[in-house]
Structure 1
Amino acid sequence: MCKVFPTSLTGAELELFRNRPHKSILDYETLCAIFLTHYCGNKKQKKSIASLFTIRQKKGETLEDFLSRFNMEASEIADCHLATAIETFKLAMIQGTKFHTSLVKYSPPDMQTLNARAQIYIRLEENMAHRAQHATLIMVENKPQEKVLSSKSRRSQHTSAPAIQIPKKGQRTEERITPLRTTLVRLFQENKMKFAAPQPIRQALEQRDKTKHCVYHRDYGHTTND
């Protein structure tokens, strides 16, 4: 073992072996002790239950992200006492939330039950976030129209008979487009399943700008917003 082991060494580890005094390694146990003593500082220290008391749910952090972070920390603790972990989780949560109130009223017997109950409130959070996002999009779409209607009503108060402008033959009418309050990239990522497959870019490949990429066309030549 002492003769075969050095053949697996390279770099600094090989130099450590070579710099040992002549006949200083009497057996394999001595060889192991030399390396273990030299590299003991690299050993990852086990965490104690005290590390859980430093965790706090951040403002704006979702229950799903916080639960994942807490479980990751708890998994690195040897002999983690379940009752202590549950009480620590309650203290780490943002006080007054629906899930926190549920834990205070009915304390779970173990972390498995806590995680299962948390999934219910995670789905509620996701549903509320989806509704809020949907309501925001509706407000963004309707707000410009409300401005247009209010401006028309103000003009109608000052003019008794507003003149109707009829476009001349061959004259293009200006189309009123609702201004976007977000980027096309974000809209595409949130609704990409609703989009049909795009037509390929017709411009020759050698004429395109390779620094610009479009996630909709999945090709180079222009940015997604363009």
Structure 2
Amino acid sequence: MAREHKNSLVKTPFTDDVYLVNRPKKFTMPAFTQFDGTGDPSRHLDHYAQKMALDDHNDPWMCKVFPTSITGAALEWFRNRPQKSIPDYETLCTMFLAQYCGNKKQKKNIANLFTIRQKKGEILQDFLSRFNMEALKIADCHPATAIETFKLAMIQGTKFHTSLVKYSPPDMQTLNTRARIYIRLEENVAHRAQHTTLVTVENKPQERVSNSKSRRNQHASAPTIQVPEKRQRTEERFMPLRTTLARLFQENKMKFAAPQPIRQPLE
């Protein structure tokens, strides 16, 4: 009676069955992510249930520990609940969701998947991960619908797309398993292309040196044309002609002597 009288003076929204419950043996307080009234209440309840998984059968204890997972405005809301208004964990969850229903994020529907497209140059592994992440956010996504949406989102004509068109998988798990084969093929092709590029870059300087040596050898082996010294001096001394040879002959023909007669037989 003394215990009941003492606890009845404590202001709490829990009923006596919840407030007076004893701590279970070997219970270790989990490290909760604190809810301050601004997040998604459903996600917080999921987080709380996962942390308390070993004690979820103990309904009063689930209630009593819950205030340790909230803080700030959320804790103030809990303290202001009417006395003895929370008899069990289900009632606590209902009141908590009703209070913060405006914070609850709306789940995406299948229409959101139709907006996804594989980007040009995006490798299959990145696109598959991005598509799977979006598919997880959709409630009750039918496997056949997800697979057909994935086909539409892919770059048409690729080897994997052709495989899916010929043999459509029964579910997304089979699709992901088959995709691993084509992901390895893409990685192998990319590795070979990178290796070829490295070999080309490494051999380029050697080819340049070889070509340079070849040109020098060709230049050294080419015959050198010797220009007579007298001709070089003549070319340097005289000015270039500014008139025709025919005009020069007409103006100077009287200055030339007649050629000597041919003394040898014409034959």
* TM-score interval, smaller chain: 0.5 to 0.7
1:87 aligns with 2:148: yes
1:102 aligns with 2:158: no
2:108 maps to: 47
Q: CA deviation at 1:7?
A: 5.8
Q: CA deviation at 1:125?
A: 0.5
Structure 2: which 5+ residue stretches go unaligned? 1-11, 20-63, 223-267
Give yes or no for contact 2:13–2:85 (8 Å, CA) kept in 1. yes
Change (3 A) 1:128 1:32: closer
1:75 maps to: 136
Map 1:164-183 to 2 at 5 A: none
Give yes or no for contact 2:13–2:82 (8 Å, CA) kept in 1. no
Give yes or no for contact 1:2–1:31 (8 Å, CA) kept in 2. no
Q: CA deviation at 1:17?
A: 4.8
Give the Cα–Cα distance (whole angstroms) in 2 for the partners of residues 7 and 112 of structure 1.
40
Secondary structure at 1:28 match in 2: coil
Cα RMSD between the aligned structures? 2.6
**How many percent identity over aligned positions?**
74
1:208 maps to: none
Map 1:108-187 to 2 at 5 A: 108-160=169-221
Give yes or no for contact 2:67–2:78 (8 Å, CA) kept in 1. no
- The aligned amino acid for 2:74 is E
2:85 maps to: 27
Give the Cα–Cα distance (whole angstroms) in 2 for the partners of residues 157 and 119 of structure 1.
56
Shifted more, 41-50 versus 95-104: the winner is 41-50
1:201 maps to: none
- The aligned amino acid for 1:52 is L
Detail structure 1 runs of 4+ shifted over 3 Å in the superposition: 3-10, 14-18, 23-26, 29-35
Give the Cα–Cα distance (whole angstroms) in 2 for the partners of residues 116 and 17 of structure 1.
47
- The aligned amino acid for 1:2 is P
Q: CA deviation at 1:73?
A: 1.6
Give the Cα–Cα distance (whole angstroms) in 2 for the partners of residues 150 and 89 of structure 1.
53
Structure with the bigger RCO (C-alpha within 8 Å, sep 6+) is 2
2:13 maps to: 2
- The aligned amino acid for 1:71 is N
Q: What is the TM-score of this pair, normalised by structure 2?
A: 0.52
Shifted more, 71-80 versus 119-128: the winner is 71-80
Give yes or no for contact 2:116–2:153 (8 Å, CA) kept in 1. yes
Q: CA deviation at 1:85?
A: 0.8
Question: More helix per residue: 1 or 2?
Answer: 2
Give yes or no for contact 2:144–2:171 (8 Å, CA) kept in 1. yes
Change (3 A) 1:113 1:14: closer
Q: When the two structures are aligned, how many residues end up with a matched partner?
A: 158
Give yes or no for contact 1:64–1:122 (8 Å, CA) kept in 2. yes
Give the Cα–Cα distance (whole angstroms) in 2 for the partners of residues 110 and 91 of structure 1.
16
- The aligned amino acid for 2:160 is F
Secondary structure at 2:207 match in 1: helix
Q: CA deviation at 1:127?
A: 0.7
Change (3 A) 1:124 1:32: closer
Q: Once the two structures are superposed, what CA deviation does each residue of 1:108-153 show, in whole Å capped at 9, x if it has no partner?
A: 2222222222111111111101100110110011111111111111
Give yes or no for contact 1:49–1:77 (8 Å, CA) kept in 2. yes
Secondary structure at 2:163 match in 1: helix
Q: CA deviation at 1:15?
A: 3.6
